[in-house]
Structure 1
């Protein structure tokens, strides 16, 4: 007898996806799905102190503010001669100054210059207290201790970075929920911080189901194939900044599926993922195995292709997601559903996929009208225009093309919404919707 789930949920019934709603963008429909799952997510609140060399890509748990002005002193942007005059002595021709000293980067300097004097400084070095500009040395003529500078060179850039011009003491450098980038590491280090508090990454346990699967490196037997989803999920989870734990291949047997869920739902993991076995067939056992292990299903069907038989559930603080079996479908659904969830669990502020508009290069025919369709695509620029085309064999997808319900064809020249296939938290414009 087919196993039935009480309160089986289809997202259309909640008004999250309308099959003929042309006023709602495909991007907004996916956001509705993500919000439904996010309502039951557990956001990681554990924090740890890490040194800066281990902070790249981590999510900040406590804001960082500058401990002092940046730069801490007025510094020269060129090797050259520092002056204290506000305007040229001679309106035309050469202006002459007496060289009274020289210093390099790292040499303390607290002197004041007369308007007729100059001091030679190096790039990054401190300039005199009343210095108004640094004239690059290649623009100057040196004869003994007399430095001659043409009047036109005294009206250009000052080549001095003033104290506090980049950051004032107490200024916010990076806030809670922001992802540490190489550029932010520079500011954090310059601001005097050697460590910072970050959210602990979510722990994700996964397995690939199917008696036909064998490990990579094994010669497949009759009716067998390599389990490539193991390596796909390992890479995607790592790209999302999370800790992945591969449980391996689980055969299509009730006891094996039950053992996996009993082991993974004990509270040691924030998210549990399976691939395959969600179709409701005789050998599709993950839905029942999850419930038998004490899990509660939130969703057993979504008006989304691929991903129609997506499973979402929860046991205690652990979220469960059952993905389809084909690797390309796993990749697509992971980027659209799982990646935003993991970003939110990591503590990323405004964890939302980047959505842009692109012009379709050629017609796209669809087999179904009643659900949201996500197609793998290749994004490119042509004559200054952002365009997208369908993925061909042996290509790597750079984006997902989003097609709202109610369409059976997208014509060349139309604009469609696309999501970039880049993990959340690794792009500077995170959360933007162009």
Structure 2
């Protein structure tokens, strides 16, 4: 089977990926989700003319010349308005956020007054009509659409939805991602590995990539190299209503790589298998029939930790984002090579690198010395991947290159 180009594989994967159905969540629990419907204001904000400062609600005409004395007839505080009105020669002590009483057309800040007695003030400075008043509906009015579909509910958006008196919101349903790690050699973190075993780590990193792109995961644990056990785990993913099934390892062509066979027994329609990329050549994509006949997308990731995570950055992240209704734009930048690079072969290479600004602020990409696809320590030190296209010619230090930023 010929190797599929990276861009073609990604286009196939995302061709029909669109936001899933919607659900209703309490506003307080909707952080990070994507709106599926417009959000309207159910009241005006502020709902009344409100003071923007601590001071006195007065009539501007009464202080056209200063000094001037006014009679203090009451107080208006937030949540406790003055019940009367302001007439000529009168003032109401007012605090920030409090309703401006009828008759008053401006607020004079307290620093520009002098208290003469409990019921009188001396005005030291004139003030124009309308000063220090937040008019009713200044922020938004009842019936206004304050947030549009597609908006990610960040702190400001959540606060706005709540201020507009929305106790719950319609949001795009989170993609459910089931993760199955396979291999007799794997044990969970915290366990004591046998003499021929290693710690399973891919599922941890993949889970975080799913989370930051708007999905939720169900880790179905480690499954040994037994085709019946793997098929049972696949069935559990279906029963749990997964939208995406991610398998870790077992997707190559060795005698112990049984994932493809187990998926085939479950009726998977294979979309593609084996990509012209490094690391991550054994990447597999297909479709199963999920719960109640819904489509279940399958992404078979390589077992090598770096390969698994690089494939997750390049393929799983945009897929989860698309199903979650989130915009996805990989952070690809131009940098200069820090070292000479040899000619590339037929696969697109993703070289772990450190991208650091030089003395002129220009980004310089320097590959790490070890690029083995099992080395998580190298991936953790890298903040980007140098992208080398298939059959790229040798390049000299200082020449431009593309980098995929990881952080």
What TM-score, normalized by structure 2, do the two folds share?
A: 0.82
CA distance in 2, matches of 1:197, 1:337: 27
1:12-411 pair list within 5 angstroms: 12=5, 29=7, 33-41=9-17, 43-45=19-21, 47-85=22-60, 89-90=64-65, 94=67, 96-109=69-82, 113-114=86-87, 116-129=89-102, 131-144=104-117, 145-151=120-126, 154=127, 158-265=131-238, 268-316=241-289, 317-348=295-326, 351-355=327-331, 357=333, 359-360=335-336, 362-363=338-339, 365=341, 368-376=344-352, 385=361, 387=363, 389=365, 393=377, 396=380, 399-401=383-385, 403-405=387-389, 406=392, 408-409=394-395, 411=397
1:386 Cα deviation after fit = 7.1
Question: Counterpart of 1:150 in 2: which secondary structure?
Answer: coil
CA distance in 2, matches of 1:398, 1:116: 72
Question: Counterpart of 2:91 in 1: which secondary structure?
Answer: strand
**Corresponding residue of 1:426:** none
CA distance in 2, matches of 1:161, 1:326: 60
CA distance in 1, matches of 2:361, 2:122: 53
Contact 1:296-1:314 within 8 A present in 2 as well: yes
CA distance in 2, matches of 1:111, 1:364: 81
1:310 Cα deviation after fit = 1.0
Question: Counterpart of 2:60 in 1: which secondary structure?
Answer: coil
Cα gap change, 1:304 to 1:156, in 2 (>3 Å): farther
1:383 Cα deviation after fit = 7.6
Cα gap change, 1:391 to 1:259, in 2 (>3 Å): farther
Q: CA RMSD in A?
A: 3.4
1:321 Cα deviation after fit = 0.1
Structure 1 residue runs of 5 or longer lacking an equivalent are 1-7, 18-28, 422-434
Q: Deviations over 1:27-58 (max 9, x none)?
A: xx5xx64432122446421x332222222222
What TM-score, normalized by structure 1, do the two folds share?
A: 0.77
CA distance in 2, matches of 1:252, 1:73: 69
245-254 or 183-192, which deviates more: 245-254
CA distance in 2, matches of 1:258, 1:296: 15
CA distance in 1, matches of 2:129, 2:345: 64
1:358 Cα deviation after fit = 5.5
Contact 1:369-1:408 within 8 A present in 2 as well: no
Which structure is higher in RCO with an 8 Å CA cutoff and minimum separation 6? 1
Cα gap change, 1:59 to 1:377, in 2 (>3 Å): farther
Question: Counterpart of 2:25 in 1: which secondary structure?
Answer: strand
**Corresponding residue of 2:371:** none
1:388 Cα deviation after fit = 6.1
